[in-house]
C-alpha cells in the first residue's frame, strides 16, 4: 500500500456540488487541486460556486457539468466525457443524495425511485465507469481515493426514513467491500457517515407542512457544521481510515447502540427512546 498520500495538484469530481456538503468539498479542495469538476442539477448554482472559487483560486481549472444523476443516460454522458478527455482523476467524491421524510406508504413512487437512482445507482454507476481510469492513475504512482457520502442513518432501520436509511446502508456496505478489493491497488476508499448538518437536506426531503429546520430535529450536541464534516472526511482519507462519523459524541452513541442486541434497538426506535429518525437524518 502506498505510504505517501497527497491530494495536492489533484483532479477531483464532486457530485451534488450545488449546495451543502458538495459545495463545501469544492471550497476545501479548491486550494490544493489542479482541476475541479463540479456536477449538479442546478446550472445557476454551479456557475455561482465556480465563479466564486475561480476568483479566490485563479490557478485552478474549474469545470461545471450540469447533469441529473438520477438518469442513467446522463451519468453515462458524464463518465464518457471524463474518459474521452482523459482527465487524470485522483479523487471521486460521491456526494449527491436525496431524502424523503414520511411514511413509506404515503410516499410517491416517483420520489422513491429518484432517491434509489441517485443514492445507490449513481454512486455505483459512476464508480464502476471511472474506476479503470483511476486504477491507471494509481499504478502510475499518483494518489487516488474515493469518498462515498453515507450517513449514520445507514446503521439503523428508521421508520419515516425507511428507504433513505436503506440506501445509506447500501452505501456503507458497498464502500467497505470496495475498500477491501482496492487496497492492493493502492486506492483508498473512505465512507463519510455524518449526522445532522444544517444544509438544504431537510428542505428538499420534507413534505408539505413539515418542518424544514434541521435545528428542530436534533440535539445541538449531535449536529456538525458542513465545514467540520468535510474536513473530517478529507483527513480520514489522507489517514487511510475506512470511515468517519464527524462528531465524537454521535460516533460514541452509534457504536454503543450497535453493540446492543437488535431486539432492544428495535424497541428503542419504536418507542422513540433510541436514535429517532429526525436525529440521525443527514446532510447533503
How many angstroms separate the Cα of 48 from the Cα of each of 18, 63, 83, 98, 102?
A: 9, 12, 26, 22, 32
The three three-digit cell numbers of residue 49, written as one number: 460556486
What average pLDDT does this structure show over 234-252? 96
Q: What is the pLDDT of residues 11-43, one digit of tens each?
A: 999 999 999 999 999 999 999 999 999 999 999
Confidence of residue 230 (pLDDT cuts 50, 70, 90): very high
At residue 167's C-alpha, the angle toward residues 165 and 173, to 5°, is 100
**Per-residue buried b or exposed e for 200-221, using 16+ beta carbons within 10 Å of the residue's own CB:** ebbebbbeeeeeeebeebbeee
Q: Is residue 123 part of a domain?
A: yes
Q: What is the pLDDT of residues 54-79, one digit of tens each?
A: 999 999 999 999 999 999 999 999 99
Task: Examine the pLDDT at 283 and tell me if it is beyond 60.
Answer: no
Q: How far, rounded to the nearest angstrom, does the alpha carbon of residue 89 sit from its chain's CA centroid?
A: 18
Q: Is residue 278 part of a domain?
A: no
Q: Is residue 4 part of a domain?
A: no
Domain span including residue 254: 10-271
Q: Is residue 68 part of a domain?
A: yes
Instruction: List, in order, residues 6 or more apart from 275 with CB less than 8 Å away.
Output: 152, 156, 253, 254, 257, 268, 269
Which of 81-85, 124-128, 134-138, 273-277 is least confident?
273-277
Catalytic-residue membership of 164: yes
Domain count for the chain, please give it.
1
Q: Is residue 280 part of a domain?
A: no
d(CA 27, CA 53): 7
Q: Is residue 103 part of a domain?
A: yes
Task: Examine the pLDDT at 270 and tell me if it is beyond 80.
Answer: yes
pTM (global) more than 0.95: no
Confidence of residue 199 (pLDDT cuts 50, 70, 90): low
Q: Is residue 276 part of a domain?
A: no
Q: Is residue 118 part of a domain?
A: yes
Confidence of residue 222 (pLDDT cuts 50, 70, 90): confident
What's the CATH code of the domain at 57? 3.40.50.720
Catalytic annotation, pick one of 155, 156, 164, 202: 164
What average pLDDT does this structure show over 243-255? 94
Amino acid at each position: 500500500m502506498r505510504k505517501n498520500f497527497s491530494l495536492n495538484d489533484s483532479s477531483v469530481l464532486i457530485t451534488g456540488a450545488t449546495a451543502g456538503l458538495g459545495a463545501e468539498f469544492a471550497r476545501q479542495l479548491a486550494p490544493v487541486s489542479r482541476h475541479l469538476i463540479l456536477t449538479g442539477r442546478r446550472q445557476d448554482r454551479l456557475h455561482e460556486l465556480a465563479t466564486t472559487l475561480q476568483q479566490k483560486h485563479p490557478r485552478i481549472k474549474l469545470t461545471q457539468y450540469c447533469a441529473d444523476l438520477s438518469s442513467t443516460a446522463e451519468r453515462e454522458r458524464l463518465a464518457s466525457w471524463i474518459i474521452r478527455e482523459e482527465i487524470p482523476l485522483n479523487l471521486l467524491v460521491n456526494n449527491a443524495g436525496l431524502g424523503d421524510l414520511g411514511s413509506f406508504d404515503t410516499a410517491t413512487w416517483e420520489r422513491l425511485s429518484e432517491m434509489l437512482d441517485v443514492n445507490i445507482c449513481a454512486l455505483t454507476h459512476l464508480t464502476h465507469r471511472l474506476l479503470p481510469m483511476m486504477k491507471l492513475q494509481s499504478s502510475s504512482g499518483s494518489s487516488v481515493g474515493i469518498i462515498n457520502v453515507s450517513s449514520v442513518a445507514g446503521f439503523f432501520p428508521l421508520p419515516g426514513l425507511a428507504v433513505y436509511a436503506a440506501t445509506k446502508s447500501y452505501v456503507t456496505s458497498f464502500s467497505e467491500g470496495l475498500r477491501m478489493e482496492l487496497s492492493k491497488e493502492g486506492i483508498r476508499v473512505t465512507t463519510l457517515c455524518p449526522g445532522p448538518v444544517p444544509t438544504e437536506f431537510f428542505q428538499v426531503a420534507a413534505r408539505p407542512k413539515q418542518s424544514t429546520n434541521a435545528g428542530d430535529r436534533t440535539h445541538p450536541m449531535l449536529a456538525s457544521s458542513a465545514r467540520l464534516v468535510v474536513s473530517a472526511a478529507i483527513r480520514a482519507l489522507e489517514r487511510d481510515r475506512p470511515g468517519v462519523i464527524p462528531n465524537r459524541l454521535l460516533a460514541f452513541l452509534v457504536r454503543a447502540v450497535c453493540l446492543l442486541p437488535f431486539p432492544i434497538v428495535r424497541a428503542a426506535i419504536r418507542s422513540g427512546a433510541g436514535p429517532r429518525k429526525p436525529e440521525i437524518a443527514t446532510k447533503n
